[in-house]
Structure 1
Amino acid sequence: MHMEFLSQLTLLQWLGTIFGVLQVLLARQNNIHNYLFGMVAILISIWVLYQSQLYADIVLNLYYLAMSIYGWFYWKSGKQKKEAPISYSSQKEHKIAVGIVLGCFVLMAYWLGQHTDSDVPYWDAVVCAFAWAGMWLMAKRKIENWIYLNISNLISVPLLIYKELYIYAGLTAFLFAVAVSGYIKWKKIIAQKRDKTYAGA
């Protein structure tokens, strides 16, 4: 029975991984449909993470789901009722992102340490905190999202290996590489737009 349960978790990890890979590749291409694949991956991940007692990651995935819905609409219309462009974060947005990291870490660490049976409360909390800020920046279409998400990825890989979620650990390592590539690609898109603006001036 235990082996059958583990095989089901492994199958779900593979399925979630496929949707997760498609999501991040579409995000790298600046394609709005990344959110549809992301939502499916998130729902699968929530079930797998629940079985592995990674509760902060479940809360993080629920947040991902909400931010994916928000991001879908923001990418489509933005504040000006037209497609929001890729851009660098303002000083205010940088401060908000750092605030999200600190606030999320404190809340998650307290909740996990005091109110759950998690054996990795601080480790899980810091992964959650950086990803939380990164997803907010992604929804706002800010290039710095890749930096915050990659800090989370870097810390998450050994945590997933510790929890024996090897497929998700491999996915996260892959996401780290894609995020580096995504940052470079988004930077080129911003530069190309700037060049066109100067040329048209």
Structure 2
Amino acid sequence: MNFQEWFMLFQQQIVKTSLIEWIAVGFGISEVLLAKKNNIWLYPTGIISILLSMFLLLKVKLYAETLLSMYYLVMSIYGWLLWKKRKLEVQIQVSWCTNKEITIAVLISTIGFLILYIVLKYFTDSDVPIWDAFVSSTAWAGMWLLAKRKIENWIFLNISNLFAIPLLIHKKLAMFAVLTTILFIVAIFGFIEWKKIEQKRKLVLAN
């Protein structure tokens, strides 16, 4: 399929986008913009988007993505509670991963991929087991790091986003593909902004 055919398919998908998908995308965009600003309200908006997304992903047989959304839901609740507990220290909690944390994140991605692939390949009717498993497992690691306010969360999430965009187009979820593209771009700026927050923290500690 050439670019023109892909673009026409994408246009057709947008026209057929359901109201639920539009709402889910709207809350999803709000979530990532709030995350970029290191704002606690990213979690309640994200939870709404997650619940709507789960319904849509299940319909198109993206089982790992649905499971990922369930994981997002749990991590969002965990992250919300954690951030509320430390809300007076929000701006100084952003930090780089320790060697142990980055190792755990890589293990989450690797082991998660293997488990998801086996389950999708042999126990579901998924037609994209490798793709679906990779997108989901890297996002698992990213969400874990986001809850802990580690700067590297943006790297893991953007690896997931990069592979999710063509997957969502393939599954005819055009607006989710648009949302993921926006998330990819915003995550780049989120990475830059969180680095600045960490630099400010170091200056505060130095003084």
Same fold (TM over 0.5): yes
2:27 corresponds, among 19, 28, 33, to 19
Match of 1:3 in 2: none
In the other structure, the counterpart of 2:8 is none
* Equivalent AA in structure 2 for residue 108 of structure 1: L
The CA RMSD over aligned residues, in Å, is 1.6
Q: Out of 160, 172, 177, which is 2:180 matched to?
A: 172
Number of paired residues? 192
In the TM superposition, residue 77 of structure 1 has moved relative to its aligned partner by: 2.2
Match of 2:83 in 1: 75
Alignment of 1:24-39 (within 5 A): 24-39=32-47
Letter in 1 for 2:113: F
Q: Using the alignment, how far apart are the partners of 1:102 and 1:187 within structure 2?
A: 26
The question of whether the paired residues in 1 share the 8 Å contact of 2:17 and 2:173 is answered with no
Counterpart in the other structure of 1:43: 51
**1:140-159 CA distance string (max 9 Å, x none):** 01010000000000000000
The equivalent of 1:143 in structure 2 is 151
Q: Hey, what does 1:161 align to over in structure 2?
A: 169
In structure 2, what is the equivalent of residue 102 of structure 1? 110
2:137 matched residue in structure 1: 129
User: What TM-score comes out, normalization by structure 2 length?
Assistant: 0.89
Aligned position for 1:189: 197
Letter in 2 for 1:155: F
Q: State the percentage of identical aligned residues.
A: 49
Q: Which amino acid aligns with 2:98?
A: S
Q: Identify which of 87, 98, 117 aligns with 2:95.
A: 87
- Give the letter aligned to residue 79 of structure 2: G
Q: CA deviation at 1:73?
A: 1.2
Between the aligned partners of 1:54 and 1:119, the Cα distance in structure 2 is: 9
Give the counterpart letter for 1:45 in structure 2.
S
Kept after mapping to 1: 8 A contact 2:17/2:174: no
Amino acid aligned to 1:42: I
Whole-angstrom CA distance in 1 between matches of 2:18 and 2:192: 33
> 1: distance between equivalents of 2:171 and 2:16?
16
Does residue 116 of the first structure (1) align with residue 124 of the second (2)?
A: yes
Counterpart residue number, 2:9? none
**Counterpart-to-counterpart distance in 2, 1:7 and 1:63:** 30
Contact kept, 8 Å, 1:86 with 1:190, in 2: the verdict is yes
The answer for unaligned runs of 5 or more in structure 2 is 1-13
| Cα-to-partner distance string for 1:106-160 (whole Å, 9 max, x where unaligned) | 0100000011110000100000010000000000010100000000000000000
- In structure 2, give the amino acid aligned to 1:52: V
The unaligned stretches of length 5 or more in structure 1 are 1-5
